[in-house]
A and B are shown apart, each in its own frame.
Chain A
Amino acid sequence: MSAAGDAAGDAAALALPAAVARAPRRLPRVLRRHPGACLGGLLLLAMLGVAIAAPWLGTIDPATLLPRARLRDPSAQYWFGTDMMGRDLYSRVIYGARVSLLIGFTVAGLSCLLGMAIGLVSGFLRGVDGVLMRVMDGIMAIPSILLAIALMALLRGSVVTVIIALTVVDVPRVARLVRGVTLSLREEVFVQAAIAAGTRTPMIILRHILPNALPPIIVQATYLLGSAMLAEATLSFIGAGTPPTVPSWGNIVAEGRTLWQVKPHLIFFPAIFLSLAVLAVNLLGDGLRDALDPREAER
């Protein structure tokens, strides 16, 4: 799997720069072969742009209270309307992108790093494998949102504690994947050759195992990004996530809950932004999986 996987991975990594270099004939081909991934990538870039440029997108401070303009419907002045405290919903939703993406990227990054460390160690040092994997199995047997809820019940709600709780939930998934890939790579001839040549274990892991294990980890990281954003919103929605002062999409929906029958826009605007962000990430993940998985590429 490694050689083919490598080639497919390289091809995918090179596809975009090469297409730009040999423009304009190759660019449409990337689009034609992976329309979903391109759409997802563009959407995600747009979301990132919105999150970074939030202060310059016609927003006001998302915490500003306008007591005389409470519960306004969407209009030219208040694009998405205002909530029951008179805060501008458009500004809150735009700033919400920052919270969601920050949590999503941090959780995905941290759980991949920790999961990779545990998975590599577990796949290479048979002594600790049994213990580590039993703990990982135990954590994975708990439905993920419930474990995050239990953690949040013991922590003071903040962006950092949400990140910690969601990372704890996601690490075992990466660790299991990396361990599996490591075990199969260990049997490859080039690794056996390196062992026979007396290369030290840390070097083998870094030089030979890690680069070959990266493509599936990248795909997994993409899906984790999406699921972490959903999980943050779910936690915040039931009141176990970020504190109400933080304008996260889940919080905004939670605040609109009591009034959704008369003012549905309070819920639909933040929920639609969250859906678009998660959809973008998942489309990108599907495209990456097709591009990086040699078995899928055959079709």
Chain B
Amino acid sequence: MLLYLLRRLLAAVPVIAIVAFVVFSLLHLAPGDPAAMIAGDHATPEEVAMVRETLGLDRAFLPRFLDWLGQLAQGDLGTSIFTSLPVSTMIGQRIGPTLALMTVALAITLSLSIPLSVLSARRPGGLLDRVLMGFAVLSYSLPVFLTGYLLAYFVSLKTGLLPVQGYVPPEEGLGLFLAHLLLPGLALSGAYFALIARTGRAAMLEVLRQDYIRTGRAKGLGAVPLLFHHALKNAAIPIATVVGMGVASLISGAVVTESIFTIPGLGRLTAEAVLRRDYPVIQAMVLLFSVIYLVVNLVVDLVYGLLDPRIRL
């Protein structure tokens, strides 16, 4: 187990290095003069030169890349062009709301999609199955800003049941904190919910065809233990895989969701950085989210062993 973990961690290093290389080389491969682009249309030549120097564009590619990797290894993510703050400080200030939002979306998605997909697999083509699959197509087709604004408008603005926008840190009251995250969490979980519900149903249908299920049914097992105890166990691996892969949709969705609900998280920081063309921040964001994505999927790989004792790590 420990050996496996070590091997997987080592295998993740080249992927992270390639991601870093891709992100870094974008700046150098961009057509035209990226320094002028980032400095903006009204910048003086001196300002453009300053941006060029800050970004290291006046130096050769390889030494600059190696320097940057060295800084990364020491936890230095660079300095924002706009605020002159270290990017790592800015991330520290903003990461809390994003993690909270993603946790809420994850909790909503898992607690609804898994039981519903298991139940719908019981009668493929039945009412629950058709409703759930129809809803799944809808929820991965609707853009986050439609579901987000629909929820904010009809649930919050029209009825006043929940706060419309904003974010309250958990220190100021857990109830208020959760009330502010419920709608954004729902809006964010759309595509993720669809992915897990569809995969869960397909995996369950595959398992339910097997002989041991028929045996279970023949010996008089009830539907609930049969589905949730015997079948779900074997369907758990593909579900766990998409739970990990789908985190990408949470990350993408967070950029929009945080903008709609004015949540001061990393997604909003990314959107602000784009408007200011604050490339060091964007670069750090891409890297950070890619690492989060890789780590989540690494954890999912480790969970395989817990879900299925046949998989020896």
Contacts and interface: CB of A to CB of B under 8 A. Distances in A.
Interface of A: 36, 134-135, 137-139, 141-147, 149-156, 226, 230, 233-234, 237-240, 253, 257, 260-261, 264, 267-268, 271-272, 274-275, 278-279, 282-283, 286, 299
A147 B26 CA distance: 10
Given A150-B26, A150-B283, A234 B143 contact: yes
A283 B134 CA distance: 10
A83 to B, nearest CB: 16
Given A138-B22, A267-B145, A271-B146, A155 B140 contact: no
A260 B14 CA distance: 45
28 contacts: A134-B14, A137-B18, A138-B15, A138-B19, A141-B19, A142-B19, A143-B248, A143-B251, A146-B252, A146-B289, A150-B26, A153-B38, A153-B277, A154-B38, A156-B32, A234-B252, A238-B274, A239-B275, A260-B149, A260-B152, A261-B164, A264-B149, A271-B143, A272-B146, A275-B141, A275-B143, A279-B138, A282-B140
Nearest to B153: A264
B242 to A, nearest CB: 15
B27 A230 contact: no
A279 B149 contact: no
A234 B286 CA distance: 16
Interface of B: 14-16, 18-19, 21-23, 26-27, 30-32, 34, 37-38, 124, 137-138, 140-146, 149-150, 152-153, 157, 164, 248, 251-252, 255-256, 259, 270-271, 273-275, 277, 279, 282-283, 285-286, 289-290, 293-294
A286 B194 CA distance: 13
Nearest to B294: A141
B255 A154 contact: no
Nearest to B292: A143
A240 B259 CA distance: 13
Given A146-B289, A260-B149, A283 B137 contact: yes
A278 B147 CA distance: 14
Q: Name the prevailing secondary structure of the B interface residues.
A: helix
A151 to B, nearest CB: 6
A137 B15 contact: yes
Contact of B22 (A142, A264, A279): A142
Given A274-B143, A282-B140, A138 B259 contact: no
A239 B274 contact: yes
A154 B145 contact: no
Nearest to B142: A275
Contacts of A239: 271, 274-275
A289 B285 CA distance: 35
A260 B260 CA distance: 10
Q: Name the prevailing secondary structure of the A interface residues.
A: helix
Contact of A138 (B21, B31, B141, B274): B21
Given A138-B21, A141-B294, A275-B141, A237 B282 contact: no
A158 to B, nearest CB: 12
Nearest to A135: B18
A154 B277 CA distance: 8
A139 B15 CA distance: 9
Given A146-B252, A234-B145, A240-B271, 17 more contacts: A137-B18, A142-B289, A143-B248, A143-B252, A150-B282, A153-B282, A154-B27, A154-B37, A238-B255, A261-B153, A267-B145, A268-B149, A271-B146, A271-B149, A278-B141, A279-B141, A282-B137
A155 B37 contact: yes
Contacts of B142: 275, 278-279
A261 B289 contact: no
A26 B120 CA distance: 31
Nearest to A239: B275
Given A138-B19, A238-B256, A143 B290 contact: yes
B284 to A, nearest CB: 10
Contact of A261 (B18, B26, B157): B157
Contacts of B270: 146, 149, 238
Nearest to A235: B274
Contacts of B22: 135, 138-139, 142, 147
Contact of A150 (B37, B248, B286): B286
A214 B142 CA distance: 28
B271 A138 contact: no
A142 B252 contact: no
A283 B133 CA distance: 11
A149 B140 contact: no
A140 B300 CA distance: 18
Given A138-B22, A234-B256, A238-B256, A286 B137 contact: yes
B290 A141 contact: yes
A237 B144 CA distance: 11
Contact of B26 (A135, A154, A274): A154
